[in-house]
Structure 1
């Protein structure tokens, strides 16, 4: 989804008499909203303030993300959330001129420009998530090195099924990349091409994670 910004960070207008503390993007009511990073729900706004129903998430680096004007909140205070997890639905609550999301970032008590990540509030690419984190879903699973070394724990064993499920989703990506490497290296040597393709698979399973 391509997000359309209707009010930029720091903007002063007839609607925002003082510099805007976040960014407003147009969204139809009920659009699923996602956490932009791993974090914990620090506050849930009940709708009595200017931003209406909303949430504040404290991310792992200490930065806080604020989502405002929601129609529904899907999380509760103290809940741990993961990158890409749905935390609420967009709406038109509070002091709002139409259906939209107000998204703001606070760092050390100061508001900062969230332009570079505002699209992550509505977009979730499981392909990018796999290559960045070594997994597709929101479940932590054991890595291949841990498997080889026998460093299983009760938690990782319990998540084996989730791991297999996630890898099944990622398999097409690994296959395409491996075949591309094979085709490229095959112009040099079929032996090198086979080793390159195998190395790509191993790299995907171990190094990325």
Structure 2
């Protein structure tokens, strides 16, 4: 994620008089573009001055849930406006009762009860920021998460131990050769560095995108 969660859902703090936090806070620079996470209608546009959410937008999404964007600096939509996923709502800010620039995002279910938006925070994060960051970033996050669950376990179980064995063996050989043949030892030091790299995130990265590319190739050749 691009933006850090600074206050999770349900958090109790003295700043809020120990009232449970009905949303999540994402720290982001003032003026960050905010885009709708789904199709819907702008239910209300708020300007509460220095109180509560300050400037904010409330959206009724097609699935019946309601999203609340708070502490904004600028608002580019109006009440009653029909919007699509990815449409610009305005800019993040530091308005209302706020301790610093951030986005407050709240969520209500179809019955109007507060709901934990943590389950969709990745999409909120992906829809915030530069115009080039939107559905594409959200899709990549989802794909990477799926790949990590399906592929990651196999990578950790098979490739990482092999990489560790290779690395340890090369380090020992490099240590021995360095004593007698410095040139070869130095060369093996570079190889060891590559081995160390491949025991980190590289196997997972190669596996997740390798499998993805294989799927694309199979699909193209089958057409």
Q: TM-score range by the shorter chain?
A: 0.5 to 0.7
Work out whether residues 122 and 138 of structure 2, in 8 Å CA contact, stay in contact via their aligned partners in 1: no
Work out whether residues 63 and 105 of structure 1, in 8 Å CA contact, stay in contact via their aligned partners in 2: yes
Once the two structures are superposed, residues 113-148 of structure 1 have per-residue CA deviations (whole angstroms, 9 ceiling, x without a partner) of 00121232341133766xx9xxxxxxxxxxxxxxxx
Provide TM-score, normalisation by structure 1.
0.61
Stretches of structure 2 lacking an aligned partner (at least 5 in a row): 127-133, 143-210
Distance 1:46 1:113, change over 3 A: same
- How far off is 1:102 after superposition? 0.6
Distance 1:127 1:120, change over 3 A: closer
CA–CA separation in structure 1 for the residues paired with 2:3 and 2:213: 34
SS in 2 for 1:25: strand
CA–CA separation in structure 2 for the residues paired with 1:127 and 1:115: 17
- How far off is 1:178 after superposition? 11
RMSD, aligned CA: 2.7
Matched residue, 1:23: 24
CA–CA separation in structure 2 for the residues paired with 1:197 and 1:9: 44
1:109 aligns with 2:119: no
Distance 1:198 1:85, change over 3 A: farther
Once the two structures are superposed, residues 137-184 of structure 1 have per-residue CA deviations (whole angstroms, 9 ceiling, x without a partner) of xxxxxxxxxxxxxxxxxxxxxxxxxxxxxxxxxxxxxxxx9984585x
Work out whether residues 72 and 93 of structure 2, in 8 Å CA contact, stay in contact via their aligned partners in 1: yes
Matched residue, 2:99: 97
Once the two structures are superposed, residues 90-122 of structure 1 have per-residue CA deviations (whole angstroms, 9 ceiling, x without a partner) of 000000010001100011121000012123234
More helix as a share of residues: 2
Aligned residues: 145
Once the two structures are superposed, residues 46-88 of structure 1 have per-residue CA deviations (whole angstroms, 9 ceiling, x without a partner) of 2334100000000001110000000001111111111122211
CA–CA separation in structure 1 for the residues paired with 2:75 and 2:26: 18
Matched residue, 2:121: 118
Provide TM-score, normalisation by structure 2.
0.58
CA–CA separation in structure 1 for the residues paired with 2:123 and 2:216: 34
Matched residue, 1:72: 74
- How far off is 1:14 after superposition? 1.6
CA–CA separation in structure 1 for the residues paired with 2:216 and 2:123: 34
